[in-house]
Chains A and B, each alone.
Chain A
Amino acid sequence: MKEITVISGKGGTGKTSITASFAVLAQNHVMADCDVDAANLHILLSPEIKAKHNFWGMPKVEIDAEKCSGCGICEDLCRYGAIKDGAVNSMECEGCRVCYHACPEKAIRLVESLAGEYYISKTRFGPFVHARLGVAQENSGKLVAEVRRQARELAQKEGRDLIITDGPPGIGCPVISSLGGTDLAVVVVEPTISSIHDLDRVLKLTEHFNVKTAVCINKWDLNLRNSSTIEEACLNMNIPVIGRIGYDITFMAAVMERKPVIQMTSSVVDNIVSLWHNAEGILNS
């Protein structure tokens, strides 16, 4: 089984529209949305939810005022300043449980916390695993791991040999969690100075985790000088540029119609088809 993960240092580069287009082009695959913090792929795939599961985050802690002697040990030990005047501020609490283990009166208890949900769905482009992280919840990395596990199980069960994953933006915990063990990371970049700056950091990350990486330049004709800077940098790092997609508001128009951009009439369709063929080539090599 192979897994291809589409990421981008910066959000808004067209990552999700491209991932959804892969869903149209590929065969015998499972889709996964690992951008659990701002999940969007479902908007383009119109899933029919088949099963819904709770995602439990780190348990939070609570102080039982009846049992608490007010010794202050917990407050001294908490490195995150989450305990003040005998009460826990759950926004500050990291869930380390040091207070829970340390309290001499056993006055601190763990409370389960529902951090989100994940879904197994059917779409017109094949099965789809996606999730929703509760607002202001931690642990997006863990939810990403759960989505990927579900996608792998589903693929195995249904005898599908490819997982196409919409990855999260950035270089932090959720991205790290979505990269481990993937066969190919496609980084979608724009020819803007910001995006080039972010690309540099993302490529360091994929290198750090030893993930095979390719680059796709979206809106490449928006700034040809920046595009050639990207090509040169990739050449130096031995990273193939496997797609060049023109600047086209069809990307936004497709989102308005809730369709993968590849189902629109536009010159970018050919660009995306050749991107996909190149990606497939690397996956099967």
Chain B
Amino acid sequence: MKITVASGKGGTGKTTVAVGMALALQADGNRVTFLDCDVEEPNGHIFIKPDIQKNEDVFIDVPEINLEKCDFCGKCSEICAFNALLVAGESVVVFHELCHGCGGCNYFCPKGAVTLIPKKIGTIEMGTAAEGLNFAHGQLEIGVPLSPPLVDAVKKKQNGGITIIDAPPGTSCPAVHTVRETDFCLLVTEPTPFGLNDLALAVEMTRALDVPCGILVNRAREGWDIIDKYCKQNNLKILMKIPLSREIAGAYSKGIPLTFLDKEWGVAFRRLFRDIREMVESERNNRHQW
């Protein structure tokens, strides 16, 4: 079972929740894999403290022009949809940071002057934390604007059991690549107009991707009920609430997971997982009937 933990907006407590659930399930004897797909700002390792045993670089293919063969016809620059090639006079400039590695220039060059060479876009680090807890995260190279291929590569590191995926914030390419084809998406939000605005976008994303979702309200406070109202109107289920508390914020600041702060959180996260599993199963049954 693959659960992504996502949020329309950053800083809602996504990592706190993903880590809490992974540790609570592991403590209960489950085999768990924690994948941090927030490759721009991976933070899960700060709380999980894995022992990294393996590194793997991720590459895309970028062009290199052989000026001996090139006759500066301009074909490559004409077909490149990302404006990553410029042919001017007797020179060809490749803007590596714009290249998406589609291979088009290589395929269409009439002179065979384009070779593709690998360019590193990031690294995946893999390891284990406690007994039965596998960990992997991706780190995007600084200055590389292309995170989806790295996200896809991290996602391939699941290895049976329960997979908890910490998604990048937002609702565009990196988040979409993370959430799609998972069994459930838990959306973490906070009870403010900011939280609501971004939650609505995230819900729209999970619906477009056809992934069932549920809501977790972080920094909940008596009387702040705009998320409750929205969920009622839109037939969404609030699965858990974590209160606004300086103590929790303080523990977070030190890299202490919620489950270490108080055993009760372990119980709460296991209950959360049970609820999610039930929702996934009933969803599956519904789909079978159709």
Contact = CB atoms under 8 A, between A and B. Distances in A.
Interface of A: 9-13, 16, 37-40, 43, 58, 77, 79-80, 91, 94-98, 101-102, 133, 135-138, 140-141, 169-174, 176-177, 190-194, 197-198, 201, 204-205, 208-209, 219, 222-223, 226, 247, 249, 252, 255-256, 258
28 contacts: A10-B11, A11-B12, A12-B11, A40-B9, A43-B194, A91-B209, A95-B81, A96-B81, A98-B79, A98-B103, A101-B104, A102-B107, A135-B204, A136-B205, A136-B209, A138-B173, A170-B41, A170-B169, A171-B40, A172-B144, A172-B174, A176-B97, A204-B142, A209-B143, A222-B246, A223-B253, A249-B244, A252-B219
A256 B224 contact: yes
A16 to B, nearest CB: 7
A170 B253 CA distance: 19
Contact of B100 (A9, A94, A222): A94
B41 A192 contact: no
A96 B43 contact: no
Contacts of A12: 9-12, 190
Contact of B169 (A38, A204, A249, A256): A38
A170 B167 CA distance: 13
A104 B252 CA distance: 58
A38 B10 contact: yes
B159 interface: no
Interface string B159-176: 000000000111111101
Q: Which secondary structure characterizes the binding site on chain A?
A: loop
Contacts of A11: 9-12, 169
A192 B209 CA distance: 33
Contacts of B142: 171, 201, 204-205, 208
Given A79-B103, A252-B244, A255-B194, A38 B170 contact: yes
Contacts of A173: 145-147
A170 B168 contact: yes
B254 A256 contact: no
B255 A43 contact: no
A138 B15 CA distance: 24
Q: Which secondary structure characterizes the binding site on chain B?
A: loop
**Size class of the B contact interface (CB-based, 8 Å):** 35 or more
B103 to A, nearest CB: 5
A38 B205 contact: no
B8 interface: yes
B79 A97 contact: yes
B29 interface: no
Contact of A194 (B15, B97, B174, B246): B15
Contacts of A101: 79, 104, 108
Given A43-B194, A133-B172, A192 B201 contact: no
Contacts of B41: 9-10, 169-171, 194, 197-198, 201
Contact of A43 (B46, B79, B82, B197): B197
Identify the 7 closest CB pairs spanning chains A and B, nearest first.
Answer: A12-B11, A11-B10, A96-B102, A173-B145, A170-B40, A37-B170, A11-B11
